[in-house]
Amino acid sequence: MPDSAMPNIPRLLLALLLSLLVTACSKEPSLLEQVKKEGELRVLTRNAATTYYEGADGSHRGLEYELARGFAEYLGVELKMVVAGNVSEVLTQLAEGHAHLAAAGLTVTEPRQVWARFTTPYQYISQHLVYRIGTPRPRSLDDLDGILEVLTESSHAERLRHLKVEHPSLEWVENDELESEELLTLVWERVIDYTVIDSNELSMNRRFYPELRVAFDLTEPEPLAWAFPRFQDDSLFNVAQEYFAAIAADGRLEQLLERYYGHLGEFDYVGTRTYLRHIQQRLPEFRQLFEYAAKEYDLDWRLLAAMAYQESHWDPDAVSPTGVRGIMMLTRATADYLGVERRTDPTQSIMGGARYLERLLRKLPERIQEPDRTWMAVASYNVGFGHLEDARIITQRRGGDADAWKDVKENLPLLRKRKWYRQTKHGYARGNEAARYVENIRSYYEVLVWYLEQQKPEEPEPNKALEILNPVL
């Protein structure tokens, strides 16, 4: 194993000792008092789908960002996210005092606890050894035949060093320039043979690289938590503990986990490959129609496209056994309500579906926030607005939050149970299908966003369908 693979513990400890000396020689207010006086909470993180990233609309997203924003609001201060290049930089910058804490998807490990204090865990993950189809599946570390590459100073590297005692022939390379998701790409592109990745990161990214497979787990479930330098006083750390206890008690933590992971479910290799092929082969014909309709009704065209794929796989001639038709699968009654004369006409169907979704969004109470608002509107597109309202009433009766998609999703299946639908205004409905419908669309949407971001910008070809848009629509 190369020397570069060893963790830079002396440098971290030196930074901690220097900071401790500075702190000891001064009589400053507590760290919590300083943060409130400055009005700013500085949080170290890294760019990744599981931590912090910028959405296509420029907004900040990611589980760690949402948690950090909530903590800043809890303190009554502004949030400043400090983005490090990788895990190694997160650890070093935290030890050197560049931020008050690190919220970067950090696994709690014994070596890290020497210099950092960790909050109550907010999530548990396992470490997967990953390979690509076409490479022989290793059954153990002794079966590895190729390049194994992991992140420098990561919990994965720590685990491999521990396992090397039992597997003396084990060799690996540590990369201090890339992130976990980029190592996944290298495996998918066959540049390297194996990597180690946390289970939550694989769940988030596997849809984009469907040929990746898990060979085996290197660990039992391990906790993820925020890290605070040990040289600091415990004032800010203690309030962070209070914050996590509060959001666990009132359900906010569970709602955030559902927002980012609740729709992933079981991985479907065949369905994912088919979808990616259809993005390439079918979507270009209808893309401008989706974009036009979305602009007309102030919607995200990629959401409309994802809904249309769930409905018809972008087949304008699709017909269901129940008689719904077209690319947006409108019922006859809905088509009449929207003024759509020919449901199998792509232009009329897409414009009608966009208009219908926009009306459903407007019907929801204004207090319902995004993204819950969108997913409830999408659910009502499938099951009907009346049935959605019935599910929200049931949710409230059962002590849930009727304005939170996570809680409503859990109660939608009750619309099939006589005990519950007898108490509703609109009666029986296949609410379980509506819940699954939304989760599928969420996944289709995210894969489409990812796919489009990988493509070079091109001038779209003229679409003749736009030239014959029905003036009535």
Q: Which are the catalytic amino acids?
A: 311
Distance CA 194, CA 205 (A): 16
Torsion, Cα 41 42 48 54, to 10 degrees, reads: 70
| Tokens coding 405 | 């998609």
- DSSP H stretches of helix in 154-268: 155-163, 180-188, 199-205, 235-249, 252-261
How crowded is residue 302: how many other Cβ atoms within 10 Å of its Cβ? 21
Instruction: List Cβ neighbours of 432 (8 Å cut-off, separation of 6 or more).
Output: 412, 413, 416
Exposed (0-12), middle (13-18) or buried (19+): which is 237, by Cβ within 10 Å? buried
Query: Which DSSP symbol is given to 347?
Result: H
By CB atoms closer than 10 A (0-12, 13-18, 19+), residue 84 is buried
Provide the 3-class DSSP secondary structure of residue 375.
helix
Q: Residue 471 carries which DSSP code?
A: T
Q: In whole angstroms, give the CA distance from residue 49 to residue 202.
A: 10
Amino acid at 131: Y
Cα gap 217→199, rounded to integer Å: 9
